[in-house]
Amino acid sequence: MAITISEALKLDVFKDAVVVAGHEGLDNEIKWINILEILDEFELLHEGELLITTAFGLNGYDASYHEKIIHQLAKRKLAAVAIQTGYYLDEIPSSWIRLADDYKLPLIQIPQKISFSEINRAITDMLTHHDDIDLEYAQRINTILTDALLTQEGLHGITAALNRLTEHPIRILNYFYHAVSWAGMKEPCEESLEAEFNSMKEKGLIGVVNSLLRPYEITGMEKDNIPDQVLIPIRTSGEVYGYLSALKDGREFSKKSLIALTQGASLCSLDLMKEDKVLKTRHNYNQEFFKELISDNQISEKRLEYWHSKIPFPRGTSFSACVVESHDVPNRKILKKIANLIELFLSQKYVTGIAAYFEDEIIIMIFSGLFKKPESFRMFIKEMKENIEKYFDNMNVYIGVGSEYDNILDFKKSYDEAKKVVTCHMLSLKDNDQVFYKDLGLLRLLLEMHNLDALHSFSKDTIETLEEHDKNHSMNLVNSLRVFLKNLNINKASEELFIHRHTLKYRLNKIRELTDLDPNLPEHQFILNMGILVSDYLKAKKINSIK
């Protein structure tokens, strides 16, 4: 562990030294010592070093050159610069003092009588002594926390031990920033955690913390709902499982506190990884259960009893299959995290369900019979979608929900229906908020038709004729027909199209002339609506290459 400049200045070797500039940087930590007589090879300097120099050869240069030297020293992020006067410099130039104050780089004037070897030996001994103490302390902390993990209820034991060791309130948060354990504070408020997490994401702090292997201190952001704290990612095998948070609570973090928190985060990863393995085992069971339910071979009653013993689910309660897909999912690990989030969401909403992730989708069996009103179920699905997209940036999620069934053997029917909804979303044939199979309307019939020649023939007799005429005569018959069929009112449709109503009447007459279908007759309106739907469906299939 490094020592600070202010700590080093307490050594006897520095008793006659004077800090002439950069007092605001006295808390800079010394990682090592570097000695350069001539200040010309700046690439030999490293961050955190205490540079000792005589500044040989600088007497013949002007103030502008001296300023460049200080700029280069500050750029290397040195802990401090100790300059021995009396040999080549009688005093430290005023330009250096001014710039060092600006850069908060401590400038220490050391007298001629002090040898560099004395300084080197004194600081090296201090650094080594600190390392020995820190190593011994880290080993002791590791023993205390391991004992807490093994004998005092896992994560709760760790949070309690860390609270005692650091005297700071401690929170352990899962990947979704939900509190799983805390000590030295009241139970964290769910709404406050959500606001904190959203602010952290907006400011890019979550990404920064996830990329680090050390404690990250956050201060001065209370107005953004982010408390002063030290945050450490809990990770294993490169994957972040959650976060260890120590709240500042009006007290600075000591070195020993940071050592304890770092050790604690490492041990938390063991417990969270164990929990992850439990989740993985459950998902494996769920996967196999779903595979059997959606296979072409009907599952036996005996097999259902077996699965009921492994995966307790309510018998005799109606259910719906739900499918979640996204083109934006980069890998299977993300799908696993989404499935875990869905399970957490089901639990928070007190909704019974079974979820499992596969190569390119997540399947959920939701016991929809527990919802008193269909609108409540619809709102639940909407919230679930928003929840997924909130935690996974820039991810467009497609959700489909099949019809409700009572017999578990009908799960495949509901699953196939949910898949059709997702297909329609991917084909842009339905808005993303229309997630239920019954929302598809006439598209349900089209999706069941496998004779594409018949659909092409129907489209040709209705819409393709109009499209050809639009192309050859630069007209807008197809869009005019869409808007009219939506409004079924000449005045409203012409206003939406920004054309005169006589122009719209002319176009509707042209449509009747080309298709032998009158847009004003109800029976022909149905056929023309179907023509538009079939045309959109065939185009979408062709563009997206979905069979």
> What pLDDT does residue 66 have?
74
Which residue in 209, 236, 233, 6 sits closest to 126, CA to CA? 6
Contacts 24+ apart (CB under 8 A), 286-293: 286/311, 286/354, 286/355, 286/356, 287/356, 287/357, 287/358, 289/354, 289/356, 290/354, 290/356, 290/363, 290/365, 290/411, 293/408, 293/409, 293/411, 293/412, 293/415
> What pLDDT does residue 300 have?
86
Helix (H) or strand (E) holding 233: strand 229-236
pLDDT tens series, the chain, 547 aa: 568 888 888 888 888 889 999 999 998 888 778 877 777 677 777 788 888 888 776 666 677 777 888 888 888 889 999 888 887 777 888 888 888 899 999 999 988 888 777 887 787 777 655 554 455 555 666 666 666 555 656 788 888 888 988 889 999 999 889 999 999 999 999 899 999 999 998 888 888 888 877 788 888 888 999 999 999 998 876 788 899 999 998 888 887 788 888 878 888 887 777 777 788 888 899 999 999 999 988 888 889 889 988 887 887 789 999 999 887 766 777 888 889 889 989 988 888 999 999 888 999 999 987 787 888 888 999 999 988 888 887 778 889 999 999 998 899 999 999 998 888 887 776 666 778 888 888 777 777 776 677 778 888 888 888 988 988 988 899 999 989 988 999 999 999 999 998 999 999 999 998 888 899 998 888 888 888 888 887 887 664 444 4
Query: CA quadruple 325, 409, 381, 204: dihedral positive or negative?
Result: negative
Domains in the chain, CATH or no CATH each: 3-125 (3.40.1390.20), 152-276 (3.30.450.40), 313-446 (3.30.70.270), 449-544 (1.10.10.2840)
> What pLDDT does residue 545 have?
42
> What pLDDT does residue 133 have?
47
Measured at the alpha carbon of residue 319, what is the angle toward residues 316 and 320, in degrees to the nearest 5? 160
Which residue in 27, 391, 65, 57 sits closest to 217, CA to CA? 27
> What pLDDT does residue 165 have?
83
Which tokens hold the place of 185?
Answer: 């504070």
352 within 8 A of 346, measured Cβ to Cβ: yes
> What pLDDT does residue 518 have?
92
342 within 8 A of 388, measured Cβ to Cβ: yes
